[in-house]
Structure 1
Amino acid sequence: MADSKREIERKYEATDATRLPDLGRVAGVGSVVHEGVMELDAVYYDTEDLRLAASGVTLRRRTGGADAGWHLKLPVAEGVRDEIRAPLSDTPPAALTALIRSRVLDAPVVAVVRLVSVRDVHVLTGDDGTPLAELSVDEVLAERLHGGDRTAAWTEIEAELADDGDPAFLDTVGRALEEAGIRPSTAPSKLARALAETAPGEAPADEPGTPRTAGDHVLGYVRRQAEAIVALDPAVRRGLPDSVHAMRVATRRLRSALRTHRRVLDREATGALGAELKWLAGELGVDRDQEVLDARLRARLDELPGALVIGPAAARLRLRSEAARSASRRRMVAALDSARHLDLLRALDALLAAPPLLPGAAAAPDEELAHAVRKDHKRLAGRVAHALDLPPGPDRDAALHRARKAAKRARYAAEAARPALGRPAKQAAKRLKAVQSLLGDHQDSVVARETLRALAVQAHAAGEPSFTWGLVYGREEAAAAATERELPGVWHRAHKARIRRSAGG
């Protein structure tokens, strides 16, 4: 069984001559408890080409100290990581290897570095004895286990915030250390420093340069979405808030980019990848759509006066929701565990390693990207006009849903073009997002009404009153009609903000 905690810490350089300041004088500190010296022995695991380290992820087996066991650390923000722990075993636990699968694919993880640290620990507490932070002085010996046998040694100071502590307190501690002449570390982690100082001497990989061509911009955007899909995989598996939505959005943005930029990336070469991205978005969508639907229907019930909620409506909705969400989550995790998903991630790696560029990739970005945005905007304009020409009903609902998809694609195209086109692309993306959101709310109402009808049928069959479901259905119908009345004005503002030829291209 694995558990997790949020780790917020700062690291500082130290030498044998470094002396800590009087930590008891730090603002907010009531006392300093010296917990003594301990020895920690950690072996870090990675693929032979160090894929985990490249993305700031660490997997280690550590003995010594109060938290001996396997630790997986996933980056959240600068100085912030989620640490997932599992009990000691001889091999990496399955609960942790599942969370690195999107990064390592099917490559084996091997022991790459051993770190032995002599840690001198001080706990800073408040006036009431509540722990505020732990400050330790670590004497570290690093030994390369794979790709060489070099060693390195250094001393560092680490300040880690106590659980549920205020991150601002670490700023206060940091100022006290810096006033004593102690400087922040340039290494993000012990492992990163160990790998750098025991490296066999190969030249570092070139950093991407400033994007100059349309191809540079498009590939940069594609790379960011691909990296997001990989990075969000463990968050989705852990059930973190909004992770499914974020991963689905990255998947859709990437698929849209491949479809939009046909003059930059060869669609004959990316067509199969686009189909797989559609599959992944669909698998993620089962759970996400259920989440959105559940929230909408609960809100609709909560809006009703109590006297109008007749029968066990809330209980029926809750049971339906729990059953649907449980099934959708199992399906989603199974998709992430599938060979098909691994093949998709490999295909993304291959695309970025050898992109199938067309002549449009060499064009000036302001010309080529503006052309792509205008093309997607024109498609959206045609779909909106067609939908608005239809009378209210199922045909218009379907046409508005198609317009929503086009609005999303046009918005993503504008967002991708923003680094090259600046303010016009930003403004276009903002107005297109408004269109997409309005059409999205309309489609959510269509789906909600289908579900409400099914709930009413089930309630009637069970001998329960169906009045409440009919009432909510009517409210959803009215909400959809209001959305349709609002659409022409929202679309007019978006159409005015379109990127014109004078912006380039």
Structure 2
Amino acid sequence: MADSKREIERKYEATDATRLPDLGRVAGVGSVAHEGVMELDAVYYDTEDLRLAAGNVTLRRRTGGSDAGWHLKLPVAQGVRDEIRAPLSDHVPARLTALIRSRVLDAPVVPVVRLVSVRDVHVLTGDDGTPLAELSVDEVLAERLHGGDRTAAWTEIETELADDGDPAFLDTLGRALEEAGIRPAASHSKLARALEETAPAPERGGPAEPRTAGDHVLAYVRRQAEAIVALDPAVRRGLPDSVHTMRVATRRLRSALRTYRRVLDREATRPLGAELKWLAGELGVDRDQEVLDARLSARLDELPATLVIGPARARLRLRSAADHEDARRRTTAVLDSARHLDLLRALDALLAAPPLLPGADAAPDEELVRAVRKDHKRLAGRVARALELEPGPDRDAALHRARKAAKRARYAAEAARPALGKPAKKAAKRLKALQSLLGDHQDGVVARDTLRALAVQAHAAGEPSFTWGLVYGREEAAAAATERQLPGVWQRAHRARIRRAPGG
């Protein structure tokens, strides 16, 4: 069985001449306990081409210390990682294998580096005895196991925040170390340093600044593809908002392939676009359920207690729990499917050999503007059509189509923002407001359908259906209010449209 913890740490350079300051005098520290010296022996695993390291992911099997076992570390933010642990075994545990599958695909993981560390540990606590942080001085010996046979040795200082600690304390502790002449480490992890020092990569320049329309589109496509890969383990772990964020990246990528068809050959990318549509739809089962549950629960909370008649809350909880569990199982099955792995392989292939068209060589302030304006024109037509219709099912459907067009136009502007600057930023912001308004309207349409079903179920069970009808009426009123706001929100978005190239 695997467990996890949030790891917030900083690393500092050290030499034989390095001396720690008096840690007991650091602001907020009440006492310092010297926990003694321990030896840690860790073997790090990766693919032969180091796909995990490329994503700042580490997988190791470690003995020694209080947490011997398998450790998988997934990046969260700068200096912050989630560490998922599993007991010692001869092979990578299945749970951890699933969490790295989106990166390694079919490639086997092999031992790449062995690190033996002699760790001298100090535990810092506050005046009330609350643990603040752990500071360790590590003497490290690295041995390359694959891709080279060199060794390297160094000493470093690591500070790690205690569970539920205040991250600001690491800033305080860091200032004390730097005042003592101790500098932050150049490498973000022991593994990164070991890989660099035991088999140095050839000197390479940083990524070139995007110049052409193709450069900008590919950079955007690459960001969305990386987000899909990186969010796979988060979705499997059920982390908050992970399904939604992964679904958005999927939709952004699909939208880019459709919008920038003069840059990337649409005939070549069409099969990938179909698979991205499939993945977004599958992820939507879980996400849409979350949104609907939250909306209906909030509607019930708005009602005075005297108007919640019968077991309405209990019926909603039972329905939500059952539907959510089904959606979670389905989402995990999708991520484990051969179809999903084929999609990830197709993304790799697209980025390795993009099917560029002549438009890719055009200046971004020509080709990107053309594409953004085309998507905005499509949106304008759909909004106009929706506003011509009377309130009712036909208008609801037209507004739903307008929402999809607003989303595509927004994503087009976001993709063009690095090249087009403030005009694209403003357009994307106004389009997001329009999309949100239309999205809320569509959520209300779905909610009304669900409320009607809940009322029928309640009536069949001999329960009062009054509350469901009351909430239905409130949803109708909310939809009417949204439709009244639409012309103004649309006008603001329309005025912010990109009319021409910046400076043109």
- TM-score between both structures, scaled by the size of structure 1: 0.98
Q: Residue 45 of structure 1 contacts residue 59 of structure 1 at CA under 8 Å; is this kept in 2?
A: yes
Q: Which moved further from structure 2: 205-214 or 350-359?
A: 205-214
| Alignment of 1:440 onto 2:439 | yes
Q: CA RMSD, aligned part only?
A: 1.0
Task: Report what 1:13 is aligned to.
Answer: 13
2:453 and 2:382 map into 1 onto residues whose CA distance is 30
Q: Residue 366 of structure 2 contacts residue 501 of structure 2 at CA under 8 Å; is this kept in 1?
A: no
Q: Residue 213 of structure 2 contacts residue 361 of structure 2 at CA under 8 Å; is this kept in 1?
A: yes
After superposition, give the CA deviation of every residue in 1:49-81 in whole Å (9 maximum; x if it has no partner).
000011100000000000011100011111111
| Alignment of 1:39 onto 2:39 | yes
1:47 and 1:292 map into 2 onto residues whose CA distance is 38
Number of residue equivalences: 504
Write the mapping of 1:44-443 to structure 2, written as runs, cut at 5 A.
44-199=44-199, 201-204=200-203, 207-443=206-442
1:148 and 1:434 map into 2 onto residues whose CA distance is 53
Secondary structure, in 3 states, of the residue corresponding to 2:166?
A: coil
Amino acid at match of 1:280: L
Secondary structure, in 3 states, of the residue corresponding to 2:153?
A: strand
Q: Residue 366 of structure 1 contacts residue 504 of structure 1 at CA under 8 Å; is this kept in 2?
A: no
Q: Quote how far apart the aligned CAs of 1:97 are.
A: 1.1
Amino acid at match of 1:269: A
Q: Residue 420 of structure 2 contacts residue 501 of structure 2 at CA under 8 Å; is this kept in 1?
A: no
Structure 1 residues 207 and 340: CA distance shift in structure 2, 3 A:
farther
After superposition, give the CA deviation of every residue in 1:88-139 in whole Å (9 maximum; x if it has no partner).
1111101111111111111110111000000011111111222111111111
After superposition, give the CA deviation of every residue in 1:208-235 in whole Å (9 maximum; x if it has no partner).
2100000000000000000011111111
Structure 1 residues 143 and 51: CA distance shift in structure 2, 3 A:
same
After superposition, give the CA deviation of every residue in 1:241-268 in whole Å (9 maximum; x if it has no partner).
1111110000000000000001100000
Amino acid at match of 2:126: G
1:496 and 1:175 map into 2 onto residues whose CA distance is 49
Secondary structure, in 3 states, of the residue corresponding to 2:230?
A: helix
2:433 and 2:176 map into 1 onto residues whose CA distance is 48
Structure 1 residues 352 and 285: CA distance shift in structure 2, 3 A:
same
2:17 and 2:202 map into 1 onto residues whose CA distance is 33
Q: Quote how far apart the aligned CAs of 1:155 are.
A: 0.7
1:502 and 1:107 map into 2 onto residues whose CA distance is 45
Secondary structure, in 3 states, of the residue corresponding to 1:499?
A: coil
Mind listing any 5+ residue stretches in structure 1 that lack a counterpart? Answer: none
Secondary structure, in 3 states, of the residue corresponding to 1:501?
A: coil
Amino acid at match of 1:323: A
Q: Residue 366 of structure 1 contacts residue 421 of structure 1 at CA under 8 Å; is this kept in 2?
A: yes
Task: Report what 1:461 is aligned to.
Answer: 460
Secondary structure, in 3 states, of the residue corresponding to 1:451?
A: helix
Secondary structure, in 3 states, of the residue corresponding to 2:333?
A: helix
Amino acid at match of 1:159: T
2:134 and 2:499 map into 1 onto residues whose CA distance is 57
Structure 1 vs Structure 2: percent identity of aligned residues? 88
Amino acid at match of 1:408: K
Q: Residue 102 of structure 2 contacts residue 232 of structure 2 at CA under 8 Å; is this kept in 1?
A: yes
Secondary structure, in 3 states, of the residue corresponding to 2:412?
A: helix
Q: Quote how far apart the aligned CAs of 1:503 are.
A: 3.7
1:309 and 1:22 map into 2 onto residues whose CA distance is 62
1:312 and 1:126 map into 2 onto residues whose CA distance is 49
Structure 1 residues 116 and 502: CA distance shift in structure 2, 3 A:
closer
1:194 and 1:335 map into 2 onto residues whose CA distance is 36
Secondary structure, in 3 states, of the residue corresponding to 1:400?
A: helix
Secondary structure, in 3 states, of the residue corresponding to 2:65?
A: coil
2:315 and 2:201 map into 1 onto residues whose CA distance is 63
2:46 and 2:147 map into 1 onto residues whose CA distance is 12
Task: Report what 1:487 is aligned to.
Answer: 486
Q: Residue 415 of structure 1 contacts residue 429 of structure 1 at CA under 8 Å; is this kept in 2?
A: yes
1:346 and 1:326 map into 2 onto residues whose CA distance is 29
Q: Residue 370 of structure 1 contacts residue 503 of structure 1 at CA under 8 Å; is this kept in 2?
A: no
After superposition, give the CA deviation of every residue in 1:29-51 in whole Å (9 maximum; x if it has no partner).
11110110000000000001000
Amino acid at match of 2:383: V
Q: Residue 224 of structure 2 contacts residue 249 of structure 2 at CA under 8 Å; is this kept in 1?
A: yes
Mind listing any 5+ residue stretches in structure 2 that lack a counterpart? Answer: none
1:415 and 1:396 map into 2 onto residues whose CA distance is 28
| Alignment of 1:450 onto 2:449 | yes
After superposition, give the CA deviation of every residue in 1:139-158 in whole Å (9 maximum; x if it has no partner).
11101111121111111111
Task: Report what 2:24 is aligned to.
Answer: 24
Task: Report what 2:497 is aligned to.
Answer: 498
Q: Quote how far apart the aligned CAs of 1:180 are.
A: 1.3
Q: Quote how far apart the aligned CAs of 1:207 are.
A: 3.3
After superposition, give the CA deviation of every residue in 1:399-439 in whole Å (9 maximum; x if it has no partner).
11000000000000011111111111111111111110110
Q: Residue 458 of structure 2 contacts residue 464 of structure 2 at CA under 8 Å; is this kept in 1?
A: yes
Q: Residue 119 of structure 1 contacts residue 137 of structure 1 at CA under 8 Å; is this kept in 2?
A: yes
Q: Residue 367 of structure 1 contacts residue 504 of structure 1 at CA under 8 Å; is this kept in 2?
A: no
Q: Quote how far apart the aligned CAs of 1:205 are.
A: 5.4
Secondary structure, in 3 states, of the residue corresponding to 2:401?
A: helix
- TM-score between both structures, scaled by the size of structure 2: 0.99
2:252 and 2:498 map into 1 onto residues whose CA distance is 20
